[in-house]
Structure 1
Amino acid sequence: MGDPITIALRFALYIDLILLFGLALFGLYSLKGQERISGVVFNFGSILLWAAVIGTLLSVAAMLQMAKVMSGASSFFELHQHILQMIVTSTDVGLTWMVRIAALLLVAVAAIFSKRAPTLSLILASVLGAIALSTLAWTGHGAMDEGLLRYVHFTSDIAHLLGAGGWLGALVAFVLLLRSKRLDGERRLRLLSRTLTGFESAGALIVISLAITGIANYVLIVGPEISGVMRSTYGLLLALKIVLFIGMLILAAANRFHLSPLLDRSLQTGSYAPAINALRRSIILEFAVAIAIVSLVAWFGTLSPEMDMAAE
Structure 2
Amino acid sequence: MIEAWVIGLRAVQYIAAALLFGLPAFLIYSARATGPVPLAWPRPALFWAAVALALAAPAALVAQTAMMAGSLGEAIKPGSLGMMVTGMGLGMALAVRSAIAFLAVAAIAMIRPGPRLWWVCVWLGLVVSASFAWTGHGAATEGSGHGLHLASDILHALSASLWVGALAAFAALVIWRPTNPSAQDRALARALAGFAGIGTVAVAVLLLTGLVNSAFLVGWCGLWTLTDTAYGRWLVLKIVLFGLMLSLAAVNRFRLTPAFKTDLDSRPVLGHLRRSLVVEFALSLAVLTIVAVMGTLAPPASLL
TM bracket, shorter-chain basis? over 0.9
Tell me if the contact between 1:164 and 1:210 (Cα under 8 Å) persists in the aligned partners: yes
Distance apart, 1:277 and its partner CA: 0.7
Instruction: Note closer, same or farther for the CA distance 1:190–1:89 as it changes in structure 2 (3 Å cut).
Output: same
Tell me if the contact between 1:18 and 1:169 (Cα under 8 Å) persists in the aligned partners: yes
Structure-1-length-normalised TM-score? 0.90
Distance apart, 1:125 and its partner CA: 0.6
Structure-2-length-normalised TM-score? 0.92
- Is 1:44 the counterpart of 2:59? The answer is no
1:98 aligned residue? 95
- Please report the RMSD computed on the Cα atoms of aligned residues, expressed in angstroms: 2.3
- Is 1:71 the counterpart of 2:75? The answer is no
Structure 2: which 5+ runs fail to align?
Answer: none
Code of the aligned partner of 2:185 = L
2:163 aligned residue? 167
Deviations 1:266-310 (A, max 9, x none): 22xxx3211111101111111122122111111111111248857
Structure 1: which 5+ runs fail to align?
Answer: none
Instruction: Note closer, same or farther for the CA distance 1:309–1:150 as it changes in structure 2 (3 Å cut).
Output: closer
Mapping of 1:1-312 within 5 angstroms?
3-32=3-32, 35=35, 40-73=38-71, 75-76=72-73, 79-112=76-109, 114-115=111-112, 118-182=114-178, 184-225=180-221, 226-267=223-264, 271-306=265-300
Code of the aligned partner of 1:265 = T
Deviations 1:128-175 (A, max 9, x none): 101011111111112222354222222111111111111111111011
Tell me if the contact between 2:57 and 2:95 (Cα under 8 Å) persists in the aligned partners: no
Tell me if the contact between 2:173 and 2:188 (Cα under 8 Å) persists in the aligned partners: yes
Tell me if the contact between 1:45 and 1:114 (Cα under 8 Å) persists in the aligned partners: no
Tell me, what secondary structure is at the counterpart of 2:35?
helix
Tell me, what secondary structure is at the counterpart of 1:159?
helix
Distance apart, 1:90 and its partner CA: 2.4
For 1:136 and 1:129, locate their aligned partners in 2 and report how far apart those are by CA, in whole Å. 11
Which stretch of structure 1 is more off in the superposition, 224-233 or 40-49? Answer: 40-49
Code of the aligned partner of 1:297 = V
Code of the aligned partner of 1:197 = A
The percentage of aligned residue pairs carrying the same residue is 36
Alignment coverage as a number of residue pairs: 303
